[in-house]
Chains A and B, each alone.
Chain A
């Protein structure tokens, strides 16, 4: 059964139909063409699909698209201001915290949500904020460097 979803993505009002069983991730990628949010484990374990939902980071792969109704969602596409990258994005580049890049959008969204909560995160808060994001390339140290740099810049 198809349902209509009225939602706000990156500040833009959107209305589109989806099958009731559609996940928010499938709705974003396949229906609305926001391809920056990544599909990886599809079970809520790796964090590649992280988006900000009403101010909180969530795994869009295990969230019903129907729950986007009336919600405000921020995806990776909503961070840069035109050609100017968000400080978190720039910090990931400056510290070399990106290798294959597949997990990066999820990380950046988790970090954006962290820095929205607190501008001076402790190392413990940083580690907790990204404990639901898996990176198989970097070994995490440079990601922590990037988060600390982003926190300084913000």
Chain B
């Protein structure tokens, strides 16, 4: 296996161009090392950890720019993330163990493109965008079109994810990330649901609703029909029930060793209901009527 430690983005892109599909990019290594030990070694490993400037979190107008090499622990311990993007903070806090959070990077979690990736549904509901470097220039891709299937994203084999831009949610909005797993944070989610709502100024109805579903389809996804059903309406008990059932119908889970597809759909329904209830109460100070 060939091994490279590029010192610049351009150097990394040149290596990707030369080695193509047999190259594997590694940063923290918490996923890639398991593949190397239990699946197969790639022809060539490109360790991007030595590229300077990719590990910072900084304010950029009304958004946060997060470098791809930022570790999950950096997110978890960042006052800016906790204050401005609590949904992303919650996911970072429920992300595996401290040992893993100290090593794993947000860029790795994203590029792994696992349907259950902990940070992905929060990024989806926050309307975050990826900045990807290619040989012919930089491209910005919203996460709603970033994921193409398990392990597949628009980064492909020639691109390098360099940063994530996450706009601050609207004033008065409330979000939550709910994860269903047997062994708490350590486990891969059976289902993960992120909900972000913004009430109208009178706090009577849902001005904006975003629901992200994880581990229940080939990619993490937004429950867009459910969002459309809820938008502009007050959250009533009947609407909550209808929305939760609709979110479950928008998922297309598989059965595997962690749970059956049927069970996952039940959990999507339960977590969507719980997420909407919690955020509605937090944002409006009212119970669902």
A and B together in one complex:
yes
Q: Within residues 8 to 39 of chain A, which ones have a CB less than 8 A from any CB in chain B? A: 19-21, 23
Q: Roughly how many angstroms separate A89 CA and B114 CA in the complex, as a whole number?
A: 39
Q: Within residues 64 to 80 of chain A, which ones have a CB less than 8 A from any CB in chain B? A: 64, 66-67
A110 and B98: CB pair below 8 A? yes
Q: Report which residue of B30, B45, B99, B186 has the largest number of chain A beta carbons within 10 angstroms of its beta carbon.
A: B99
A128: nearest chain-B partner, CB-CB = B98
State the majority secondary structure of interface residues on A.
Answer: mixed
Task: Select which of B2, B38, B103, B185 is within 8 A of A58 by beta carbon.
Answer: B103
Q: Roughly how many angstroms separate A110 CA and B121 CA in the complex, as a whole number?
A: 30
B30 and A59: CB pair below 8 A? yes
Asked if B100 lies at the interface with its beta carbon under 8 angstroms from chain A, I say yes
Give the Cβ gap from B74 to chain A, nearest Cβ, in Å: 11
Asked if B29 lies at the interface with its beta carbon under 8 angstroms from chain A, I say yes
Q: Within residues 37 to 71 of chain B, which ones have a CB less than 8 A from any CB in chain A? A: 37-38, 41, 45, 47, 49
Question: How many residues on chain A are close to B (CB under 8 Å)?
Answer: 29
Asked if B73 lies at the interface with its beta carbon under 8 angstroms from chain A, I say yes
A132 and B5: CB pair below 8 A? no
A62-B103, A66-B3 in contact; A129/B47 too (CB < 8 A)? no
B33 and A58: CB pair below 8 A? no
A21-B36, A42-B37 in contact; A59/B47 too (CB < 8 A)? no
User: A53: which B residues are within 8 A, CB to CB?
Assistant: 102-103
Asked if A50 lies at the interface with its beta carbon under 8 angstroms from chain B, I say yes
Asked if B156 lies at the interface with its beta carbon under 8 angstroms from chain A, I say no
B42: nearest chain-A partner, CB-CB = A21
Give the Cβ gap from B237 to chain A, nearest Cβ, in Å: 35
A63 and B33: CB pair below 8 A? yes
User: A59: which B residues are within 8 A, CB to CB?
Assistant: 30, 97, 99-100, 103
User: B1: which A residues are within 8 A, CB to CB?
Assistant: 1, 19-21
A47 and B2: CB pair below 8 A? no
B34 and A132: CB pair below 8 A? no
Using a CB–CB cutoff of 8 Å, the interface residues on chain A facing chain B are: 1, 3, 19-21, 23, 42-45, 47, 50, 53, 56-59, 61-64, 66-67, 110, 128-129, 131-133
24 contacts between A and B (CB under 8 A): A1-B2, A21-B45, A42-B37, A43-B37, A43-B38, A44-B30, A44-B33, A44-B97, A44-B99, A45-B97, A45-B186, A47-B97, A56-B102, A58-B99, A59-B99, A59-B100, A62-B33, A62-B103, A64-B26, A66-B47, A67-B47, A129-B98, A131-B98, A132-B186
